A and B are shown apart, each in its own frame.
Chain A
Amino acid sequence: MHKAILVFLVVFFYSGGAAKVVTAGLMTVTGGIAGTILYAKWDHKFRETVEKNVPYSDRLLGLALGPAPQETGLSVKKQIELAQPPSMMEKAMKVSKAKQEKKVKETTESPIEVAKPVQPAQSLEEASTEVTHIISAISDVPSVPAPCDTEMTPVKEECKECHNHKVTAETAAVSTEIESVAAAEPLKERPVEEVTARLAQQDLDEQEIVASVSGNLDDSLASSAKATLQAIGAQEAALQAIALHTQKLKEAMEAEVPPQEKSTQWKDLEACLANRAAAVNDAGTALLKANEALDNLKSVIDKSKGRNVPAVRPLVLAAEENLHKMVVDLDKVVNKVKSAESEAKVVSQYSELVNEAKLQFQREVSSLTPEIQANWKGLTGKLSTDDLNALIAHAHRRIDQLNRELAEQRVREQIHIDAALEQQKLEYLKSQEAAVNTSLQHIKEDARLEQERKLSELREVMEAEMRTQLRRQAAAHTDHVQDVLKVQEQELKAEAEQVLSSKLLEQETRQRQLSQEQLDNFTLDMNTAYARLKGVEEAIDSHVVAEEEARKAHQLWLSVEALNYTLKTAEAGSPTKPLEVAAQAVRDSCHDNEFALALASALPEESLQRGVYSEASLRARFYGLRSLVRRVALIDESHNSLYQYFLSYLQSALLFEAKQEAPPTQLSGEDLDPFKLLSYASYCLEHGDLELAAKLVNQLTGEARRVAEDWLNEARLTLETRQVVSLLSAYANAVGLGTTQAP
């Protein structure tokens, strides 16, 4: 830059005047350019105006300053574009997710925001969330996911609901199935009569069983009762006997009675003893019998229990109770007897002891006084004083001994009492145990019987309740069955009606179809026949018409031919005869044909009135015209003085062009020269193309044109007429051809 300036200055100062001017000019120009560039750099609007107005300045400014500053607009657009694709991507993602969701729905239900089992969906998910963040950060772009989400959630909810519905429907279906199955099952139950028969049979059987059992029970009860009563009687008798015996024994032991009475007493005692023994035996046997009978009863009861018939139970229970009572009574009596026996035993033991003591004493006495007999009481007068003294001394000794024994006995009394107490205790315990056992057994038995009774009562109550419940259930069941049957009936009725109506409809439609078909066929036949008739009629008419047409066409053709012929009547220099007549003939022959009419009326007036020139005459005329046109070739509006005329004449004398030249397909500018045009036109005329010749002559301008005007008009007329006539003839030919009918 600086070097350039230095060079300029040097050149400026060390050069001549002209060079100075040149350098000054160059400097100003470069300064202007630099100034504009700098200002354009600073002011962008100026830069734009410069670029707009000065053609290649944008390139120069681009070179100098870099591309035009449009970054701000682009950046915004780019941001928006960047924002747009993520949203679009997201939309696509959501769409794909939706599809996946649908797939997932079918298998499982999973919330949207949670990662799905499919991995690509996961990555898409993450990307979409990130993008949503970005998009939500950009405030001007609306966040797209929200509507999608809301779409998703109701879809999901719907799907849940539908799933639930499905599930419930399924369960409902299942339940209905079950219900239907269950409803089907009762149908498999035995019919009512069989059931009632069976029940009746059962009742009869039961009754029989009950009767038999009751009979058995009664028999056994009666027998056992008898036996027990007997036993009890016997036992009581035994008891009484025992009591009597003991009493007698006691009396015998203790009472001081004269010996006669003693022997009677002893006899009574023996008798009593014997009685007692007998009674006891009797009691024993009776007891056995009673036990036997009771055992029998028990077995019978057990058997009848084993029958497992409910009606028998109260009888059984009653029998059992009786049995128990009898057993109890028997036991009581047996206990009484036992206690009496024990008492008797005590008394007998006492009596035995006494007897033993007595015997002992007697032995002692006898040992002392061997001569004394057993019955010492009768010896009161027989004894001596020595015997008496010895007896008294013995008695004293005995008393001493007895006192000693008594003292000893008193000493041992306690021990004996203890031992006895112990024994007694043991015995008491034993007896207590036995009593307790028996009472326990009795109580147990009682309790059991009570339980059984209660059980039977409860059972009865339960049975009654169950019966009522069953009755209720049966009633409900019958109601339900009735309802179900009603519903089924209705459904079946509806179904049957529907089927019936559909079948009826089908039949009806079929019937209608058939009838319609028949009708259609008939109408079709009729139509075809009619159409054929019409066709035939039309054919005939058209034949007639066609013939008429053909005649007309012929006429037209003839008239057109006549017209054509008149065209040929032109002589060398004069025009043809007027075409009016022929044209009139043509018009007459086609007065209903618009086209031909139009054509006929399109004949120019001149040709009709005056006739047209033939081509040959026009050609001849053209040659005369040609020389004239050559002579006035230069004359037009601006060049039309006599001098120009002279020049034009000179030109025509001096200029030689081809007599005939084939015209090109497209005329260029240089072809519009009159001489050329004339040669083209003569060529065309020589080759019979009047039209092209006329077109070429039409290209003449100025005076040449004016001179050729008449010829041109004549040529036009001729061409017009010829065209019309040729059209007419073509038309006539066509019509003629059209009207000719193929053999």
Chain B
Amino acid sequence: MSEKELGQKWDRCLADGVIKLGTGLGLGIVFSVVFFKRRTWPITLGSGMGLGMAYANCQTDLRLHYLVPKKQWLIHSNHI
């Protein structure tokens, strides 16, 4: 169903965002603890990067139909 697709995308976005945010946060914390003397900027950087990547991925995912020729989309959709 094509109307479910959007919802699925959003789910993916969200999941991906959570993952990326968590990962970024974690890595930020690690880096800030390990390399940058418990400064906050690596955490925010990491979370920001994670969030940013999640945003970018979400956007790409949402745009995918308009960016990619149909054949690749089909392949992609098959993948998914």
- Bound-state CA distance A153–B59 (Å) is 104
A-B CB proximity, top 6 nearest: A710-B2, A709-B2, A637-B66, A640-B63, A710-B1, A642-B59
Contact B58–A708 (Cβ < 8 Å): no
Question: What residues of A have a CB within 8 angstroms of the CB of B65 in the complex?
Answer: 706
A-B pair number, CB within 8 angstroms? 35
Shortest CB-to-CB span from B4 to chain A, Å, is 8
B49 within 8 A of partner (CB): no
- Bound-state CA distance A182–B47 (Å) is 152
Stretch of A310-318, A624-632, A718-726 that contacts chain B: A624-632
- Bound-state CA distance A632–B7 (Å) is 12
- Bound-state CA distance A38–B64 (Å) is 67
- Bound-state CA distance A313–B7 (Å) is 169
Q: Which single residue of chain B is at the shortest CB-CB distance from A713?
A: B2
Question: What residues of A have a CB within 8 angstroms of the CB of B66 in the complex?
Answer: 636-637, 640
Question: What residues of A have a CB within 8 angstroms of the CB of B55 in the complex?
Answer: 642
Contact B58–A628 (Cβ < 8 Å): no
- Bound-state CA distance A710–B2 (Å) is 5
Q: Can you give 22 contacting A-B residue pairs, CB < 8 Å?
A: A624-B3, A628-B3, A632-B6, A636-B66, A640-B62, A640-B63, A640-B66, A642-B55, A642-B58, A642-B59, A642-B62, A645-B62, A706-B5, A706-B65, A707-B2, A707-B5, A707-B6, A709-B2, A710-B2, A710-B3, A711-B1, A711-B2
Shortest CB-to-CB span from A681 to chain B, Å, is 14
Interface residues on B, range: 10 to 19
Contact B63–A641 (Cβ < 8 Å): yes
1/0 per residue, CB under 8 A from A, across B38-80: the answer is 0000000000000000010011001101100000000000000
* Chain A residues engaging chain B, CB cutoff 8 angstroms: 621, 624-625, 628, 632, 636-637, 640-642, 645, 703, 706-711
Contact B63–A628 (Cβ < 8 Å): no
Within 8 A of A (CB), among B1-48: 1-3, 5-6
Known A628-B3, A636-B66, A707-B2; further 10 A-B contacts with Cβ < 8 A: A625-B3, A641-B59, A642-B58, A642-B62, A703-B6, A706-B2, A706-B5, A707-B5, A709-B2, A711-B1
Shortest CB-to-CB span from B47 to chain A, Å, is 18
- Bound-state CA distance A628–B3 (Å) is 7
A637-B66, A640-B63, A641-B63 known; A707-B3 Cβ under 8 A: yes
Q: Which single residue of chain A is at the shortest CB-CB distance from B4?
A: A710
- Bound-state CA distance A628–B1 (Å) is 13
**Residue from the list B3, B62, B63 in contact with A708, Cβ < 8 A:** B3
Contact B6–A628 (Cβ < 8 Å): yes
* Chain B residues engaging chain A, CB cutoff 8 angstroms: 1-3, 5-6, 55, 58-59, 62-63, 65-66
- Bound-state CA distance A703–B5 (Å) is 11
Question: What residues of B have a CB within 8 angstroms of the CB of A709 in the complex?
Answer: 2
Shortest CB-to-CB span from A464 to chain B, Å, is 143
Question: What residues of B have a CB within 8 angstroms of the CB of A636 in the complex?
Answer: 66
A637-B66, A640-B66 known; A708-B59 Cβ under 8 A: no
- Bound-state CA distance A708–B6 (Å) is 11
Shortest CB-to-CB span from A651 to chain B, Å, is 16
Question: What residues of B have a CB within 8 angstroms of the CB of A711 in the complex?
Answer: 1-3
Q: Which of B1, B5, B65 has the most CB of A within 10 A?
A: B1
- Bound-state CA distance A97–B62 (Å) is 97
- Bound-state CA distance A637–B65 (Å) is 9
- Bound-state CA distance A709–B65 (Å) is 13
- Bound-state CA distance A632–B59 (Å) is 14
Question: What residues of A have a CB within 8 angstroms of the CB of B2 in the complex?
Answer: 706-711
- Bound-state CA distance A709–B6 (Å) is 12
Question: What residues of B have a CB within 8 angstroms of the CB of A637 in the complex?
Answer: 66
Shortest CB-to-CB span from A286 to chain B, Å, is 184
Q: Which single residue of chain B is at the shortest CB-CB distance from A714?
A: B1
Question: What residues of B have a CB within 8 angstroms of the CB of A641 in the complex?
Answer: 59, 63
Question: What residues of B have a CB within 8 angstroms of the CB of A708 in the complex?
Answer: 2-3
- Bound-state CA distance A240–B5 (Å) is 203
Question: What residues of A have a CB within 8 angstroms of the CB of B63 in the complex?
Answer: 640-641
Q: Which single residue of chain A is at the shortest CB-CB distance from B13?
A: A642
Question: What residues of A have a CB within 8 angstroms of the CB of B62 in the complex?
Answer: 640, 642, 645
Question: What residues of A have a CB within 8 angstroms of the CB of B3 in the complex?
Answer: 621, 624-625, 628, 707-708, 710-711
